[in-house]
Structure 1
Amino acid sequence: MTHDAHGHTHSYASKKEDLTRRLKRIEGQVRGVQRMIDEDRYCVDILVQIAAIKNAIHQVGLTILESHTRGCVADALSNHTDGEAKIDELMDVIRQFTKS
């Protein structure tokens, strides 16, 4: 795990390269949708691309959520340090993440 400027750990560090690659791909997809709109492409084609972007960003979120659970939360529980607070924080973020 790596630490940020505030001393927080980041359990997704081992997946950082993959996450960055995925986000760059998503960024390209968003630019592609912008081009499609500029080119007056068919609505359904644009909507299909938007659905693909939505799914891709959701997968990035799930990857980070899993890393957080297996790393940060599990670490807090096993070290008996702030475990309940980490679980509360996790549940809050799951609620936010799963809102439509």
Structure 2
Amino acid sequence: MSEQKQDHSQSHTHLSHESIIKRLKRADGHLRRIITMIEEGRQCVDIAQQLHAVEKAVCQAKRTLIQDHIDHCLENTVSALNNGERAPLEAFKQITKYL
């Protein structure tokens, strides 16, 4: 059973994950800088601009993750449905809630 879980987690590692991690780490750095900007009393316009950039980066990371999941997992979902399995369809439905 633990092998199934291990295989399951490995099957959800995609090539895009590395770029998503880089994007999120960059957003994390920007977010930390924004906190410093607020603590230093920087102009609200500057802070808002940086917050907007972080928001866009996180949204793009989410979009990339979901699109990649759909691209790679849709075929498995269709195959599973042909075999009478419903779990992959439910997982597919769950991720589309975040679009």
TM-score range, shorter chain: 0.7 to 0.9
Counterpart of 2:33 in structure 1 is 32
- Mapped to 2, the partners of 1:82 and 1:53 lie a distance apart of 42
The alpha-carbon distance between structure 1 residues 81 and 73, as it changes in their structure 2 partners (threshold 3 A), is farther
**Which runs of structure 2 are paired with 1:21-100 in the superposition (5 Å)?**
21-78=22-79, 80-81=82-83, 85-95=87-97, 97-98=98-99
- Mapped to 2, the partners of 1:17 and 1:40 lie a distance apart of 35
- Mapped to 2, the partners of 1:4 and 1:34 lie a distance apart of 42
The alpha-carbon distance between structure 1 residues 54 and 83, as it changes in their structure 2 partners (threshold 3 A), is farther
- Mapped to 2, the partners of 1:70 and 1:26 lie a distance apart of 25
The aligned length equals 94
Structure 2 portions without partners, runs of 5+: none
TM-score (ref. length: structure 2): 0.75
3-state SS of paired residue (1:32) = helix
Give the residue type in structure 1 aligned to 2:67.
E
- Mapped to 1, the partners of 2:52 and 2:44 lie a distance apart of 12
Structure 1 portions without partners, runs of 5+: none
3-state SS of paired residue (2:15) = helix
